């Protein structure tokens, strides 16, 4: 009888702790909707900061954020016409991301990259590498991949990269202390 009583006390303490936290865990769930350089940098700065603070982090890349995760060294043959067009029109990888404002036909983006390098601020590809080192999970939206004609074979080699739908992301986000949309 004694072990059951101790287990029951432990379970009740865990439930009380969960209620005190509002039922939320020490997690960050973020939708990365934008593929713009400045917004993607903000997403990865927040994600790596949260991971460094011990939070579990999941980034859900959808629509315009998805091209950031394409590997510029990879190609995926057998795409239909729309997939080929999206592939050609959208940046291929994080290094090709452009500013959301003041792009100025590439001049603004180049100036920002040069400024970042001069001040020893990590580039977007470096931030993605850091996120991988810190265990940040990335989920790529299956629907966005399908609509844009992207294939898994052309995506980055990232240790915690998975493909999921919105239900998987929402399940994760429901228990998260912090939810963001960038």
* pLDDT for position 171: 93
Q: What is the pLDDT of residues 129-182, one digit of tens each?
A: 999 999 999 999 999 999 999 999 999 999 989 999 999 999 999 999 999 999
Distance from C-alpha of 57 to C-alpha of 64, rounded to nearest angstrom: 20
Distance from C-alpha of 60 to C-alpha of 58, rounded to nearest angstrom: 6
pTM above 0.75, yes or no: yes
Q: Is the pLDDT of residue 23 over 80?
A: no
Residue 74 main-chain phi, psi, to 5 deg: -110, 155
pLDDT band at 18 (very low <50, low <70, confident <90, very high): low
Q: Is the pLDDT of residue 22 over 70?
A: no
Domains in the chain with CATH codes: 24-181 (3.40.1260.10)
Distance from C-alpha of 78 to C-alpha of 20, rounded to nearest angstrom: 53
Q: Is the pLDDT of residue 24 over 90?
A: no
Q: What is the pLDDT of residues 53-101, one digit of tens each?
A: 999 999 999 999 999 999 999 988 888 998 889 888 998 999 999 999 9
Q: Are 145 and 66 in contact (CB under 8 A)?
A: yes
Q: Are 68 and 60 in contact (CB under 8 A)?
A: no
Percent pLDDT > 90 in the chain is: 76
Question: Among the listed ranges 34-38, 73-77, 126-130, which one has the minimum average pLDDT value?
Answer: 73-77
Distance from C-alpha of 153 to C-alpha of 135, rounded to nearest angstrom: 22
């Amino acid at each position: 009888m004694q072990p059951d009583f101790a287990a029951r006390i432990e379970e009740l303490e865990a439930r009380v702790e969960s209620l005190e936290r509002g039922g939320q865990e020490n997690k960050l769930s973020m939708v990365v909707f934008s593929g713009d350089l400045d917004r993607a940098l903000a997403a990865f700065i927040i994600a790596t900061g949260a991971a460094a603070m011990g939070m579990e982090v999941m980034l859900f890349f959808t629509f315009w954020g998805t091209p950031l995760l394409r590997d510029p060294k990879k190609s995926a043959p057998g795409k239909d016409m729309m997939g080929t067009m999206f592939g050609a029109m959208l940046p291929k990888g994080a290094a090709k991301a452009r500013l959301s404002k003041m792009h100025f036909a590439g001049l603004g983006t180049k100036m920002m990259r040069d400024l970042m390098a001069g001040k020893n601020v990590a580039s977007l590809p470096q931030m993605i590498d850091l996120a991988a080192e810190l265990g940040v999970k990335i989920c790529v939206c299956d629907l966005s991949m399908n609509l844009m004609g992207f294939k898994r074979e052309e995506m980055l080699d990232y240790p915690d990269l998975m493909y999921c739908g919105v239900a998987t992301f929402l399940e994760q986000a429901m228990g998260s202390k912090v939810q963001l949309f960038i």
